[in-house]
Amino acid sequence: MCSSCRSNFVVASRRFSSEPAVPAPPPPAAADKPYYVTTPIFYVNAAPHIGHMYSMVLADVFKRWQTLLGNRAILCTGTDEHGMKVQQAAALADMDPKQFCDENAEKFEELAHLSRVDYDRFIRTTDSDHVQAVEHFWFLLREKGLIYETKHEGWYSVSDECFYPESQLVKYQESFTGAVYMASAETKNKVEWVEEKNYCFRMTELKDRLLDFYEKNPGWIEPAFRMNEVVDWVKNHLEDLSISRPVQRLSWGIRAPGDPSQTIYVWVDALINYLTAAGFPDWAPGESHLGGWPADVHIVGKDILRFHCVYWPALLMALDLPLPKKVLVHSHWTLNKRKMSKSLGNVVNPIYAINRWGVDTARFYLLSEGGIADDADYSNNTLVVKYKKYLQWGFGNLLGRLTRPKVWNVREVVKNSFTEDASRPQVPKALQELITGFEAALAELPPTVAQQMEKHDPVSAIRKILEIGTRLNEFLTQTQPWSLVKSSNPADRVAAENVLFLVAEGLRISGILLQPFLPDKATQMLDTLGVAQDKRTFGHTVLRCDPDYGVPMVDPGSSRVDGLFPPLVEDVEVTYSGSVKTRRKATSTFPIVQTDN
């Protein structure tokens, strides 16, 4: 761009509180770019539900996994605060929209904090830097001739915040009231006919580019079958996108630069948050990647697939900006096989779940049972069963069996295993074969988990780790080192040490791998084993790579009640000194509490 044109461009862009545009940078060097993962930003028209927590925790696992690998990673989450739904919700609450958003955004940020989400930016679409980014993005689209003014008419859903073509509508009858209305075939949300003046984005001009991108990048969307829905939409239903609303109908939002009678469409506003958090538009030429862009993975729910996989790439293509590398689309959580709904009163409050079960137990359940391809059904009964099997009787039991007995010392076991002694008796062949088999399983565990994470499948990854805990417990029961260590036969005592060292290594390696999934409990496990802070990286998930652990940094406890994963107590009457007392049915993973009957 010549200096004269550039000067005019800068003056024009500053009218809209933005910085001048820069050309699309070349692909960044991997070493310069942090791994960038995002959640969708969440509507503040209602309180958080378990699905919001699931999106947050999934994103957190990917960020923590990259940190475990030694890579710099950033995570963005936040709230979507503009649009018709928020405007109407604020009016119903008789509140100023900004005050309404402030109060509800705080609930989502609290959820992120309670869920141990290690976010770097909690973005709000009312943030001033985001408003400027949206204004600048709009200006660039207009400068390229991709926005035009028109009289728009069509079927609009307030709930979905979008227009639908007639081919995507059905006549729907509400099951409770019997009311019949036109609705989206996809969401079953009511639509209404709207005629208004607004601005449109020439999205149809990008149809061929979109289809070409999908064809050349079949793995861009996970799970892969979601790509079929996206391609079908673009081939058969793509229209120019209405990207503003008259201020008389929607006043709560960002005004269209140059035309204060129009409010920018909430989904254009919302999607740009991913760029805002990465520093847009204040990118020096060739350095957009330093803020993380393009995103390595967008975590989204299946209900917003079209917005992220059609609208978003079209908007980015329009400005020749790099597209995100991956969109991971997860399914929904149901309750008793029914979609959660405020009107049905079957919404699971994630903060209640955290308070009841503990944060890592809630994370464990969501991550191990959550649905990527298919919906998952939330059940407290299932949670309890899984908790007992994999956490309480899995790693919790295993850690207690290793660290609590007085007949051996874990530090001595570890130290002796690294001591060369030619005079040590040989382990019996049958036991050695068992040990060799488990050593192979432990050696395969880290690369297997890494492979699942590379495939964006944290559900399979955590299940692989949990299986090791179960198998090691069985191995411990089968070999009975508590008997071998008391034997007068030196070979038995050596065998006991080999068994105990293998269990210790299994716990150490599993604890390191569990850090992205269960950050608090994994830390407690490694502290109990005495693993140094600087030896908890993925590079330390190798057998016999740490000779220095074994001295606990925290008390391992004296029973299951004060262990890593305490039991979930059932109602039972017990007698103390002639008076009947009741052990409370546990609503958390805290120790037993007795109260007078």
pLDDT at 112: 98
Whole-angstrom distance, CA of residue 293 vs CA of residue 310: 19
Structure confidence at residue 254 as a pLDDT band (50, 70, 90):
very high
| pTM: predicted TM-score of the whole model, two decimal places | 0.85
User: Parallel, antiparallel, or unpaired: how do β-strands 180-184 and 169-173 relate?
Assistant: antiparallel
Cβ–Cβ under 8 Å, residues 521 and 565: yes
Residues 6 or more apart whose CB falls under 8 angstroms from that of 476 comprise 398, 401, 499, 503
Whole-angstrom distance, CA of residue 592 vs CA of residue 585: 9
Cβ–Cβ under 8 Å, residues 450 and 538: yes
Task: Please report how the helices 128-143 and 3-14 are oriented relative to each other, as an axis angle in degrees rounded to 10.
Answer: 130
pLDDT at 459: 94
- For 204-229, what is the mean pLDDT? 97
- For 396-433, the pLDDT digits (tens) are 999 999 999 999 999 999 999 998 877 778 888 888 89
- For 90-104, the pLDDT digits (tens) are 999 999 999 999 999
Whole-angstrom distance, CA of residue 118 vs CA of residue 77: 10
- For 18-49, the pLDDT digits (tens) are 333 333 333 444 578 999 999 999 999 989 99
Domain regions of the chain by residue span: 380-549
CATH architecture of the domain with residue range 380-549: Orthogonal Bundle (1.10)
| pLDDT, mean over the chain | 87
